[in-house]
Structure 1
Amino acid sequence: MTEEKNIMETLFKKLDEKSKDLHDENGQSFIENLGLAMEDIYINQRDVLEQSTLQERRKAFQFAYLSLMKEEIIQPNHQMTPDSIGFILSYLVNLFTKNKETLNIVDIASGTGHLSATINEQNPNKTVMNHLIEVDPVLQRVSVHLANFLEVPFDVYPQDAIMPLPLEEADVVVGDLPVGYYPVDERSKEMKLGFEEGHSYSHYLLLEQAVYATRPGGFIFMIVPDSLFKGEEEVKQLQKFIATETEMQAFLNFPKNLFKTEQSRKSLLILQKKDSGKTHSVEVLLANIPDFKAQTQLQTFLSEVNEWIKENHSL
């Protein structure tokens, strides 16, 4: 165990130091230089990399990212999906698709690719094909470097995820949705969740895109504001879209202690895209996910989810 920890720490220190050295040399952002540091290890320090597991590499990247965030103020949409959220989402992806050996997964608004990396790591018995869609050029480059560093194949699509997607329909679409307003009104007006007046909600439009990117019968796992269904007219529009296009499966609130403010709290919305004659409505699973440190409560929660799956998705 100590040796494993040492390899992860060695990788973390190499990434951290190299990123800071590169920043001093080229003046680019720490995040950009973290990508270059991963590439340097991948090309020039194979001996260290080959001693490490996928989890050790991902954790080294995660700790380096969190370390570099202390060096510069980063925008909210550059925040990384926390491990605990990534793990529970990955576990549920596995549970809902347990009869599938191969998974085609789209990560919409994928950021650094850390969520995709976590899902890949937590589904070792499946062949996972990852398709990442990200508009930010810095994050696109980081996710390409991360794929090389982990030696996990990512297809990275450098585009606005709300624009038409050049993809075949996926088995699963995941996303940690950035919250805000989408500035391209011409595109919003082409979509069912676009508003008639003013800018539309980007998280609504991304949710709509996620549904379109999923094959009939496939599943959608979206990390959304826990206030998603609170509000007035816009919420009715959202609820109608979800009821028309999908069978809602679950709305699970993440533990409060993962978030700094009430406003930043998130939940996990799980939908199944309708497939005529094959999908059916279920009793929606509504629950609070226990604190991840409360192991007994967490195990009870996971057992309840397993029971729910057996009752509603007998395979």
Structure 2
Amino acid sequence: MYKIENIFNSFLDCVQCLQKALNVSFGDALTETFDNLENGQIKVELGAPDKETVKQLSQKYAKLNYDKLSNNTKLQIFTYLTLKAVTEDDLDANQMPTPPAISTIIAMFVQKLVPKEKLVIADPAIGTGNLLFSVIQQLKSANHSKTNFELYGIDNDEEMLSLADIAAHLNNIDIEMFCQDALTPWLFKSPNVVISDLPVGYYPIDKNAANFATKSENGHSFAHLLFIEQIIKNLQEGGFAFLVVPKAILSGKGGSDFMPWLTEKVFLRAIVELPDSAFQNKFNQKAILILQNHGKNIGNSEVFLTKLDSFKNEDDLIKLNVKLNEWYTKNIN
């Protein structure tokens, strides 16, 4: 950890030096830093950064020994710096990277439920790409679909997409990304898998929300409900969605209208409640919602329901896998 901390601080020094010289956000400076390092030269536009800064950066970059660092180390440092960018740039809570344990759980379900064939996978709220890329790496390790993936991502924030682009490169993942409102028509083929940590809150464009069945009758509509409806509209027949959603929409007052609507539109396969301790208060608590679109020769099944007590205890994930295998054998296989 001491070595990683030293490397991190050296990278941080480079990012802050460039940030000051260009007068840009931390996230923009982070993207530019890794672009410079990957390309082996310092990008200069309209005289910025100036010659003195270029000289300083050249010396700092040389001390990093970037080409000798393992890809895993580069990715680890970039992930830590991305977390810092969220804090430094005062980004929205929705833009925080998804905890790694969640990607492990989703990868577990994808391997069980999704056919091992070429997959078209989309994340309509990709952010930094942390969730999608982590799941894909785990599927590759398991040789699921023989690593044959066609990937797409959407985000309406250019800074997030720039960070996702660097992360994709470091992960050696090919993906096409679109800067757009994900609640407008998607600009790529219908996916058979959607993996996403959905943004939580109100959607400000009431005129567009009026096109959705899940719109609110009064005031702004909930973005996460509109996202789920948009995902269902775009999923291929029989396609799966693995979504991180607010737990409140699944039961009680929050789910009284939504859940009956949802169960008419799709087959509900699983709900995994995430540990309470992972969230600051009960209003922020989340769950993984897994659904399958209607399609030929596809029927309903008993819904897999469980709650995790902790992300820190590996035994909990092992127990989850055992339960998943039992449920799969009984209901799916």
Matched-pair identity in %: 26
1:30 is matched with 26
User: 1:52 pairs with 70, 75, 81, which one?
Assistant: 70
Q: Aligned residue for 1:149?
A: 170
In structure 2, which of residues 138, 152, 165 is the aligned counterpart of residue 122 of structure 1? 138
Change (3 A) 1:69 1:157: closer
> Where does 1:154-233 land on structure 2 (aligned, <5 Å)?
154-232=175-253
User: 254, 271, 278: which is aligned to 1:258?
Assistant: 278
Partner of 1:92: 109
Q: Deviations over 1:120-145 (max 9, x none)?
A: 21111222222101011211222223
**Gap runs ≥5 in structure 2:** 41-60
Task: Check 1:146–1:298 CA distance in 2 against 1; reply closer, same or farther (3 A cut).
Answer: closer
Q: Which amino acid aligns with 2:116?
A: K
Which residue is 2:298 aligned to? 279
- Change in 2 beyond 3 A, CA 1:206/1:49: farther
Instruction: Go from structure 1 to structure 2 and tell me whether the alpha carbon gap of 1:69 and 1:138 turns closer, same or farther (over 3 Å shift).
Output: closer
State the TM-score, normalizing by the size of structure 1: 0.88
Inter-CA distance 311–60: structure 2 relative to 1 (3 Å threshold): farther
Deviation at 1:118, TM superposition (A): 0.7
| 2:96 pairs with 1:75 | no
C-alpha distance 12-154 of structure 1, shift in aligned 2 (>3 A): farther
Partner of 1:39: 35
- Structure ID, larger Rg: 2
Q: How many residues align?
A: 306
Does 1:309 find its partner at 2:319? Answer: no
Q: 1:197 to 1:78 in 2, by over 3 A?
A: same
1:193–1:18 Cα change, 3 Å: same
Q: Could you tell which deviates more after superposition, 124-133 or 280-289? A: 124-133
TM superposition shift of 1:36: 1.3
| Structure 1 residue 105: Cα displacement | 0.8
Q: Any idea what SS the aligned residue of 1:220 has?
A: strand
Deviation at 1:89, TM superposition (A): 1.8
CA offsets per residue over residues 122-173 of structure 1, 9 Å max, x none? 1112222221010112112222232233331121011000111122111210
Q: Which has the higher strand share?
A: 1
Gaps of 5+ in 1: none
Report if aligned partners of 2:276, 2:285 keep a CA contact under 8 Å in 1.
Answer: yes
The verdict on how the C-alpha distance between 1:312 and 1:37 changes in structure 2, with shifts beyond 3 A counting, is farther
Output the CA distance in 2 between the equivalents of 1:132 and 1:49. 28
Are residues 219 and 26 of structure 1, via their aligned partners in 2, closer, same or farther at CA, if it must alter by over 3 Å? same
Deviations 1:227-265 (A, max 9, x none): 112454x73442233122210011111112211222111
Partner secondary structure for residue 271 of structure 1: strand
Instruction: Provide the rounded CA distance (Å) in 2 between the counterparts of 1:293 and 1:236.
Output: 33
- Cα distance change on mapping 1:242 and 1:56 into 2, 3 Å: farther
Partner SS for 1:217: coil
Provide TM-score, normalisation by structure 2: 0.84
Shift of 1:38: 1.9
Q: Deviations over 1:32-52 (max 9, x none)?
A: 221112212211189745752
Contact 1:111 1:140 in 2 (8 A): yes
Task: Give the CA deviation at 1:195.
Answer: 2.4
Q: Distance in 1 between matches of 2:74 and 2:103?
A: 16
Instruction: Give the C-alpha shift of residue 192 in structure 1.
Output: 1.5
Match of 1:113 in 2: 129
Match of 2:46 in 1: none
Q: Matches of 1:255 and 1:39 in 2, distance apart?
A: 37
